[in-house]
Amino acid sequence: MPATANVTVLDRAQLAAEGISTRWSTRLLRTLGSSGPLRKAEIASSSPIPAGSLYKVTGLLERAGAITRLPIPGSRRYELALTDAGRALDPVHAAAKSWADRHLVGRAALEAPEAIDDALGLFAIPHTGAVLVELVAGESLTVPQLAQRLPVPNNGILHHRLSVLAEQGLISRSGSPRAYRWAISEAGMHTGAMVRELSGWAERYLPSIAHPDPAARASSAALTSGTGAVVIAAPRPAAARTDAARLRRDTLRIHFSHAPGPQPPALLQSAAGPRR
């Protein structure tokens, strides 16, 4: 992503998730965190990470800046070690585990590191955050309605993405197959802490990600403190900027929360007014 790009909270969350949520990522990070620098052979012998997966996940975490190579003096070999960025992922992992323990589909069959990978990986799926933003105000929407609001190439791709999110429990659908209406679920409403921690980590440790342009709509993004909520400006593609959308563009604020119990949409309605 060019350094001059306008980057929103959701953009940062997705880019962070893409780099640190591959299966075995959390396991590798925890192994290095508890043992200190290790050679790959030592990691392979002391953890359940398959050898083939170890090389893949190592490369991804290196590119994300979470781990680095330390040359072994007098040898052509090296050890892997956590960087400051890797050590700073603890709050990200804590938020993901908290959400996974309550909401992740299939959590019972997973150990904690892999559950964290799967929870964070939901935001590596393109448009996850944007779909939740569009549905969080409490209004169920059809695929054509969502297509007008999201930069997805075609309805078939969008329907597939929605089906994946429904399988993971973040959204639900109702109606007939030809006219499904999609709505956010309680699990989707409670993803705020993950969004907040992923975005904050990316903003600090991924140098290729630009800060939002202060003049851009995304500049209204704000992270609340103490409540686990994240407030984000809802994105709007240019094709969907009707008069009503222009108004909502400047006023709508989206509230996700991981607090216990479902969150009412009153805050959204009071901020945005009735949707049209």
Q: Average pLDDT of 20-49?
A: 94
Note the pTM of the prediction, 2 decimals: 0.76
**Sorting pLDDT into bands at 50, 70 and 90, what band is 99?**
very high
pLDDT per residue as tens digits for the range 130-174: 999 899 877 899 999 999 988 888 888 999 999 999 999 999 999
Q: Average pLDDT of 243-251?
A: 32
Give the pLDDT confidence score for residue 7 in this predicted structure: 61
pLDDT per residue as tens digits for the range 199-223: 999 999 986 665 444 433 332 233 3
Give the pLDDT confidence score for residue 225 in this predicted structure: 31
Weakest mean pLDDT among 33-42, 151-160, 224-233: 224-233
Q: Which residue has the higher pLDDT, 124 or 225?
A: 124
Domains and CATH numbers, the chain: 120-272 (1.10.10.10)
Quote the percentage of the chain above a pLDDT of 90. Answer: 59
The full DSSP string for the chain is: --TTS---HHHHHHHHHHHH-STTHHHHHHHHHHH-SB-HHHHHHHS---HHHHHHHHHHHHHTTSEEEEEPTTSS-EEEEE-HHHHTTHHHHHHHHHHHHHH-TTGGGS-HHHHHHHHHHGGGSTTHHHHHHHHTTS--B-HHHHHHHS--S-HHHHHHHHHHHHHTTSEEEES-GGG-EEEE-HHHHT-HHHHHHHHHHHHHH-TTSPPPPTTSGGGG-EE-SSS--EEEEPP--GGG--HHHHHHHHH-EEEE--SSSPPPTHHHHHHH----
Mean pLDDT, the chain, rounded, equals 78
Give the pLDDT confidence score for residue 85 in this predicted structure: 97
pLDDT per residue as tens digits for the range 53-92: 999 999 999 999 999 999 999 988 999 999 999 999 999 9
Give the pLDDT confidence score for residue 252 in this predicted structure: 32
**Sorting pLDDT into bands at 50, 70 and 90, what band is 270?**
very low
Q: Which residue has the higher pLDDT, 248 or 139?
A: 139
Q: Which residue has the higher pLDDT, 183 or 262?
A: 183
